[in-house]
Amino acid sequence: MFLDQVIGFFSSDMGIDLGTANTLVLVKDKGIIINEPSVVAVRREKYGKQKILAVGHAAKEMVGKTPGDIEAIRPMRDGVIADFDMTERMIRYFIEKTHKRKSFLRPRIIISVPYGLTQVERKAVRESALSAGAREVFLIEEPMAAAIGANLPVREPQGNLVVDIGGGTTEIGVVSLGGLVISKSIRTAGDKIDNSIVNYIKEKYNLLIGERTGEEIKIAVGSAVQLEKELSVVVKGRDQVSGLLSRVELTSEDVREAMREPLKEIADALKTVLEMMPPDLAGDIVETGIVLTGGGALIRGLDKFLSDIVKLPVFVADEPLLAVARGTGKALEEIGLLQQLTNEE
């Protein structure tokens, strides 16, 4: 125990936003120092062994382009751990990269998890961090972390509504007095939007493209509402009918049509949360509005799209991609508050 405290003195506390699409690592007093895709590339060796070739950006470059013996794995799916072993290795890689040396340093780590994870899933996250070298692990719910990171007054007796659209899940939370009053998590987010773009292009243009290209199209021309000047992008892929390689020009109108269904699901979930809200909190939300965080908040015009549906003001947080990681960082500074937020074990 005493040794742990001594070791802890030399190692930095860390906050990890363990996302389906990206993992961000924040170190106390240093800010965000790692922001990389949650992808691990492994080579299969004899006797079923797997050797890690790359993690993060380098591994993402390999997705969909690997030879037979190499596989690019995304260990997180829909906000939960799909591959325990790879998640542990990925967390260990990030801890070692953060501390620059592999010795006995054992940081305290706070990890943000989607709301509504089962006890088993929460235990899996905690165990993977402990076996990757953490001294203590705290879990914080993503809507809470997003609200803290978006600088909302979470401790005040005032309702704040945050919508965090990540890669695997969309988290909607109403925060008041330092806790979550209402929360909802749906498995419709960035990945599902990418897939809907891939399927739309396949059906309309008979063109086969990969998931990664789907994401690139979303970033390049995706919009939730009509733009003053429509954007366009040339997409290359394989023609389903002739089997030959071909290209088509896509407009932001096409992509908007493709994304319509998943965006509607997110809007419906938001409506459900608003319907469940106690009247006094509802009054606060009418005044303060709704804050969007996460990568999905970067889709052009999404704030206007949601605002038109729920008839409330909607704002995008500053640097929405970093909100959850920043929230974990602020929670790190108040370990007492942390223990209150993570009163389980």
pLDDT score of 341: 56
pLDDT score of 345: 43
Domain ranges (residues) in the chain: 2-35+84-144+324-340, 39-73, 152-317
Q: What DSSP designation does 317 have?
A: P
Q: How far apart are CA 313 and CA 305, in angstroms?
A: 11
List of the chain residues with pLDDT < 50: 1, 3, 7, 10, 344-345
Q: How far apart are CA 118 and CA 128, in angstroms?
A: 16
Chain centroid to Cα 180, Å, comes to 19
pLDDT score of 105: 67
Tokens of 139: 């879990």
State pLDDT tens for residues 174-221. Answer: 999 888 899 999 999 999 999 999 999 999 999 999 888 999 999 999
Long-range CB pairs of 11-14 (<8 Å, 24+ gap) are 11/99, 11/105, 11/106, 11/107, 11/135, 12/98, 12/99, 12/107, 13/107, 13/108, 13/109, 13/110, 13/332, 14/95, 14/98, 14/107, 14/108, 14/109, 14/110, 14/332
Q: How far apart are CA 261 and CA 257, in angstroms?
A: 8
What is the helix (H) or strand (E) element at residue 330, kind and residue range?
helix 323-333
Q: Which residues contact 208 (CB under 8 A, 6 or more apart)?
A: 202, 237, 238, 239, 240
Instruction: Give this prediction's pTM.
Output: 0.88
Nearest in space to 114 (alpha carbons), one of 172, 73, 56: 172
pLDDT score of 128: 84
Give the angle 152-292-109 at the CA atoms, nearest 5°: 65
**Which CATH number is associated with domain 152-317?**
3.30.420.40
Q: How far apart are CA 294 and CA 313, in angstroms?
A: 18
pLDDT score of 232: 93
pLDDT score of 116: 80
Q: How far apart are CA 16 and CA 22, in angstroms?
A: 10
φ/ψ region of 47 (left if φ > 0, alpha if ψ in -120 to 50, else beta) reads left
Amino acid at 203: E
pLDDT score of 18: 87
Q: How far apart are CA 263 and CA 10, in angstroms?
A: 46
Q: Which CATH architecture group holds 2-35+84-144+324-340? A: 2-Layer Sandwich (3.30)
Amino acid at 148: I
pLDDT score of 201: 95
Whether 2-35+84-144+324-340 shares its CATH topology with 152-317 is answered yes
Tokens of 190: 């960035």
Tokens of 189: 């987010």
pLDDT score of 102: 54
Q: How far apart are CA 27 and CA 329, in angstroms?
A: 7
Nearest in space to 205 (alpha carbons), one of 263, 255, 150, 161: 255
Q: Which residues contact 197 (CB under 8 A, 6 or more apart)?
A: 214, 217, 218, 222, 255, 258, 259
* Contact of 300 with 222, CB cutoff 8 Å: yes
